[in-house]
Homo-oligomer: A and B are copies of this chain.
Amino acid sequence: MKTISENTCFDGTQGVYSHASTACDGDMTFGLFLPAEAKEEKVPLLWFLSGLTCTHENAMTKAAAQGWAAEHGIALVFPDTSPRGEGVADHDDFDLGQGAGFYVNATQDPWAKHYKMWDYIADELPALLAEKFAIDPERQGITGHSMGGHGALTLAMTLPGRYRSVSAFSPISNPIDSDWGRKQFTAYLGEDESTWAKHDASKLMLEKGFDGPILIDTGTKDQFIDLLRPETLADAISKRRQQATFRLQPGYDHSYFFVSTFIEDHIAFHAEALWS
Contacts and interface: CB of A to CB of B under 8 A. Distances in A.
Contacts of A221: 8
Contacts of A22: none
Given A260-B67, A261-B67, A251 B8 contact: yes
Contacts of A107: none
Interface string A260-274: 110010000000000
Interface stretch (A42-50, A58-66, A84-92, A134-142): A58-66
Copies of this chain, complex-wide, total 2
Contacts of A255: 7
A94 interface: no
Contacts of A206: none
Nearest to A9: B257
Interface string A94-121: 0000000000000000000000000000
A252 interface: yes
A196 interface: no
A167 to B, nearest CB: 18
Given A61-B61, A264-B67, A258 B8 contact: yes
A253 interface: yes
Contacts of A246: none
Report, as a range, how many residues of chain A touch the other chain.
20 to 34
A219 interface: yes
Interface string A201-221: 000000000000000000101
A17 interface: no
Nearest to A256: B61
A7 B258 contact: yes
Given A61-B61, A62-B61, A64-B67, A7 B264 contact: no
Contact of A253 (B8, B252, B257, B258): B8
Interface in A1-54: 7-11, 14
| Highest count of chain B CB atoms <10 Å: which of A8, A67, A221 | A8
A66 to B, nearest CB: 7
A261 B14 CA distance: 11
Interface in A48-84: 61-62, 64, 66-67
B8 A219 contact: yes
A264 to B, nearest CB: 7
10 contacts: A7-B258, A8-B219, A8-B252, A9-B257, A61-B62, A64-B64, A64-B260, A66-B257, A66-B261, A67-B261
Given A9-B258, A66-B261, 7 more contacts: A8-B252, A9-B261, A10-B260, A10-B261, A11-B261, A61-B256, A67-B260
